[in-house]
Structure 1
Amino acid sequence: MMFAKPYSASDEMRYFQTARQFPDVFAPRDADSHKGSHGTLAVIGGAAGMSGAVILAATAAMYLGCGKTWAGFCQTQLPFAVIPERPEIMLATAAQLLQRNDISAYAAGCGLGLDDDARAVLHSVLQRAAGKPLLLDADALTLLAATPELRAAAQAHGRLVLTPHPAEAARLLGIETAAVQADRVSATQSISRTFRAVTVLKGRNTLVADPDGTRYTNISGNPGLATAGSGDVLSGIIGSLMAQGIPPAQAACAGVWLHGAAADLLRDNGIGETGMLAGELAPAARWLRNRMIGLMLRADLGGQN
């Protein structure tokens, strides 16, 4: 998909100013870099009937520049030998993937399921991801809220990103969803303190908070994001940035902004807000990241002259 005229000059300047907040995300690649330079992400989830969630997240990770991406399915055997449209993504069962020692970052929960097998997989993820950046989303958050052992393991992790929607945030805090929505800032900060994690509370003007109280309010995005799989794409984007060595807090803030800005880009190029597909977001986010890298490079070179 091409974006010949995505926004006006004033919009581009606004995007450029926002991108300036995330210098590591929008830095150009070294000329001698290779796939190993840009990290390996393990995306784990995709129980039977929910394989698409892992595929969406893993695809987004590739589009956002991850060197290598594994899709690990919470199933006894692979649902297919290869993803026809995305053969770049390596496939494994969750059990197989959790035996690997070459993973830079993990993203777990997309379509994971809520049964005992899913609980066991999440326990293994928390163990294997010790010392590595780890994003937990969707079913992983529900399991975390309901299982004291998992909760304790998550609190001890130290490099954790949680990406709840309001209902998941309510489960993590043991309160009603309406209470979360009534004070989204307090809810986000409370989750971050409780789990010693970067927390992304999704919704209009998505909030990001880290344990020390630093908060970011996102202004990109539109109702087109209210579509199945949108959250999986966000998990893939943030996970990809973490695998590339971006610190979790910056990866979360930049990932949220790119995700929303990609939706704005699609809307402004004639896709519209109604019927926007989650799978359309990652190519738009890739275009935007590269556009901002180019603009920043030119601005930096101009400042040196």
Structure 2
Amino acid sequence: MNQKPIDINIENLPELFKKRNLDSNKGDHGTVGIIGGSNGMIGSVLLAGRAALKIGAGKVLIGFASKNSPISVDFIQPELMINTAIYWLKSQIRVNTWVVGCGLGQSVFSQKLINEMFILKKGSIIVIDADALNILSSKNFLSSNYKNNTLILTPHPAEAARLLNCSTQDIQENRLEAVKLLSKNFKAWIVLKGKNTLICSPNDYVIFSNKTGNPGLASSGTGDVLAGMIGSLISQKICLEQALLGAVWLHGKASDKLSMENIGPIGLTASEIADSARKIRNNITYN
């Protein structure tokens, strides 16, 4: 019999709503490295980076999955530090959390980049999203490379099906079993997205269920925003469990708040989620 998941609520998340020290600096709030944005999909990695900043990271690096960076500055969010993925992977800058996959594509170049990342960044915390999950499920991924890292996988049902070599229907009919099996197979934290997103720990296979969110999140880019939020909260030295639960809860709560203001669920955009989540976190923390 499947265990009953634990519902996520504010009481689970004391570290998320802890006030910051008055003498803190950007180094105290962590550095996130976000890799993706291959040709034609640069918006994905920018959405993730902007979300990471707005949810509180001290510094965010954007690494494009290309030989040359398609842009040198994001004029909407010029605080982002932009270069190629290889540049940041070989840099001496200390990165607390890596997020990989947003708009990455599945080209030979992207496949080689993923394998190289796991070699160059042994011992890192890595959030694996989107196309990186599809590469992970392919025969072109060298599975021995990822075992020295702390992994967080964030699949939607179709990506979970590819990882488990089954159908999307199988995942949806057995979500509790699927999230636990993914956690066991990959020795990773799993965020199985969808209605009542599930989070499973690889340590004891405890499963959490999120009740925030609405159909407004079923639009392009919202997963990229969630990946950026997860990487950001982990980098802020919030314990891994609370960072994952907090990001998922905030992401859904932001869409609920926007829908209450008639900014959704129809037509809700990913860009609006991070701003709403920032307001919610600050309001609960400081009021």
Q: TM-score, normalised by structure 1?
A: 0.88
Aligned match of 1:303: none
Aligned match of 1:9: none
- C-alpha distance in 2 between matches for 1:164 and 1:270: 29
Question: Does 1:163 pair with 2:151?
Answer: no
- C-alpha distance in 2 between matches for 1:242 and 1:126: 19
- C-alpha distance in 1 between matches for 2:257 and 2:24: 29
C-alpha change, 1:77 and 1:158, in structure 2 (3 Å) is closer
Aligned match of 1:270: 262
By how many angstroms is 1:158 displaced?
Answer: 4.3
Query: Structure 2: any 5+ residue segments left out of the alignment?
Result: 1-7
- Superposition map of 1:1-305 within 5 A: 18-101=9-92, 102-147=94-139, 149-154=141-146, 156-211=147-202, 212-295=204-287
RMSD: 1.3
- C-alpha distance in 2 between matches for 1:25 and 1:166: 27
- C-alpha distance in 1 between matches for 2:283 and 2:148: 35
8 A Cα contact 2:102 2:224, kept in partner: yes
8 A Cα contact 2:191 2:198, kept in partner: yes
- C-alpha distance in 2 between matches for 1:107 and 1:247: 17
Query: Amino acid of the residue matched to residue 134 of structure 1?
Result: I
Aligned residues: 278
By how many angstroms is 1:128 displaced?
Answer: 3.2
By how many angstroms is 1:213 displaced?
Answer: 1.0
- The DSSP-based 3-state class of the residue aligned with 1:98 is helix
Q: TM-score, normalised by structure 2?
A: 0.94
- For each residue in 1:230-249, what CA deviation from the matched residue of structure 2 results, as whole angstroms up to 9, or x when unmatched? 00000000000111112332
- C-alpha distance in 1 between matches for 2:139 and 2:255: 35
- For each residue in 1:210-255, what CA deviation from the matched residue of structure 2 results, as whole angstroms up to 9, or x when unmatched? 1121110000000000110000000000000111112332211111
- C-alpha distance in 1 between matches for 2:80 and 2:141: 32
By how many angstroms is 1:45 displaced?
Answer: 0.4
8 A Cα contact 1:75 1:94, kept in partner: yes
Query: Amino acid of the residue matched to residue 189 of structure 1?
Result: K
By how many angstroms is 1:159 displaced?
Answer: 1.4
Moved segments of 4+, more than 6 Å: none
